[in-house]
Amino acid sequence: MEKIPLLTPCKMGKFELSHRVVLAPLTRQRSYGNVPQPHAIFYYSQRTTKGGLLIAEATGVSDTAQGYPETPGIWTKEQVEAWKPIVNAVHEKGGIFFCQIWHVGRVSNSSFDGVEIHGAHGYLIDQFMKDHVNDRTDQYGGSLENRCRFALEVVEAVANEIGAHRLGIRLSPFASFMESGDSNPEALGLYMVESLNKYGILYVHMIEPRMKTSAVEISETPHSLLPMRKAFKGTFIAAGGYSREDGNRAVAENYADLVAFGRFFLANPDLPRRFELDAPLNKYNRDTFYILDPVVGYTDYPFLESSI
């Protein structure tokens, strides 16, 4: 049986991916006291395949970076130690694990394979980039170059710490999460990917223009990520309302190297297998996305074999 485009191998820097279905970072709010919990080992392990890429839920870089309850951190020794068995569980099944780090900005009060900087969705880095919310008059405000300065300084700092070959960034130039919109998102996205090329980072993870404010609101737009995809020299990951059919088309038409799935991967821990067989998908329950239960809406979605 010929493999569908999403299930063909892909080389991402030094990582040999066996398929192109990526677990998107999903805030789960089940890290009690900002410490990753044992149930997270099971959650990530369930969604691991040999040669598959998983991007962890957004992880705070300091106690002042937090904006939501019970989200994980990585600024204390206890937190670092709690992440280790999660990473080990993914590695044992042959998966590749990137930790997404964030600072939520105005929303707020090395055994990992790599790091993804959260530069999207209206949080701190995105707030600097978007002209609807950045009203600074210093070197970090005004021109496009100035507004992108902070994001690129963060990229440079993290790349210097862990190596550009282990670094990705998530961007949402077209979105207006937390009222963080921009008057010229195409120019913003292009400037960022062209600037990122200079640092040689591993990947850019870009949110589709149709994802304007939340996963509930998906609207088709004339905008496209294609100019950014063509300009960026590293691996290009697209995310935002993708189905199996959309994802296959994106890979087949060279619109993206990899496609990240959020809600579908949450509800279907064996998503690549279901895509392979074109099997029906479990329906996700939005009501249990952010509850504190260590099982319900987290690790209780059935695998294909047990749901037949």
Residues annotated catalytic, as ranges: 123
Structure tokens belonging to residue 21 = 């279905």
Return the amino acid letter for 298: Y
201 contacts 155 by C-beta, under 8 angstroms:
yes
Q: Residue 141 gets which letter from DSSP? A: S
Of 87, 88, 56, 90, the C-alpha closest to 73 is 56
Helices of type H across the chain = 38-46, 77-92, 124-129, 144-162, 185-197, 226-231, 244-252, 263-267, 271-277, 304-307
Q: Which of 177, 170, 169, 184 is nearest to 131 (CA)?
A: 184
Return the half-sphere exposure (C-beta side, CA atoms, 13 A cut-off) of residue 150: 21
Coil vs helix vs strand at 23: strand
Which two tokens mark 296? 């319900």
Residue 200 near residue 215, CB atoms below 8 Å: no
